[in-house]
Amino acid sequence: MGKVLVSASHYDTLCREAWKLLEEHGHQVIYDPSRSFPAYSQEELKIVLRDVDAAVVGLDQYTEEVFAHAPKLKAVAKFGVGTDNIDCQAAARHGVKVLNAPGMNANGVAELTLGLMIDLFRGIVPLHNKILKGEWPRYMGREIKGKRIGLLGFGAIGQLVAEKLRGFSAEVYAYDLYPNEERARELGVTMAGLEEIIETCDAVSIHIPPSKESYHMFDGKLLDRMKDGAYLINAARGALVDLEALAEKLKTGKLSGAALDAFEVEPLDEKAPILSCENVLVTPHTGGETYEAYRDISLCTAKDIIRVLNQEEPVHWVNKSFWEEGRGV
């Protein structure tokens, strides 16, 4: 019935159920496991998409020009949540529904966030590295118990982080533009203002989406307002943090440490100033990289692609408002 181009990694090994589901509904999956990621340049997409009905997108850039060369394309599904590499308005103008898989990788990101937090408080990785060098250091860490932990964003991931922190007896505070007061009460979370979170918490964990307004939100001025000796964890989006400003605050001791899983430019430049800080922990945007998340994301996107190709309304339709405006539906 339709051709589905997949440019998300490990689709042939970790997403077999989704692949089978698409085939059972009569669709042909086009996937090249030999490609690195991003899998296709824009020039390549303009060629390969000519005869494609839907796409599962990893890191490839889907722009106005790309959509203009894809006359049969009906759906583009991001293998994850953030659709910043897809021009949603351009997609709408060309009659393409943009889909995603919200919440499917939330637990993986939440677990990584907690792992990063524990490492920052106890210095696990730095101690491990010292032992490998033949050292046997005495190091005084900190406990999460009784600490004020601030969550910037209280959506699916923030709520899961809060739920897991309950077992550590931490005092959890959260800020959100649209606070879920009922869920906060269930989890013992105190909803607070942004200033209170920044200025009073022992650790601040970022869980908000990127936007023009939030670009480099954590700049030098905001970092200066954080509690002396606090920790910063960012497993959301790299553009939220000014890395040069953060490196300065880490080196001066304003902050005790930071853990980062997302960066404005990826891969991170090996000469980036942040890497010269001894009190930083970095991971290669691996929050959603779990076997469980890949299965759930692939099935979620496959089901919505099937709906679109069956001329049904998808569940997770990111550009619905743009599409309706542009198409007059």
Active site residues: 237, 266, 285
Query: Could you tell me the two tokens for 12?
Result: 């042939």
- Pairing between strand 203-206 and 230-234? parallel
Q: Quick one: which H or E segment has residue 281?
A: strand 280-282
The secondary structure of 235-254, three-state, reads CCCHHHECHHHHHHHHHHCC
DSSP annotation string for 298-319:
HHHHHHHHHHHHTT---SSBTT
Contact 122, 259 (CB under 8 A): no
Helix-strand-coil split of the chain, %, nearest 5:
40, 15, 40
Q: Taking Cα atoms as reference points, which of 251, 244, 262, 277 lies closest to residue 205?
A: 262
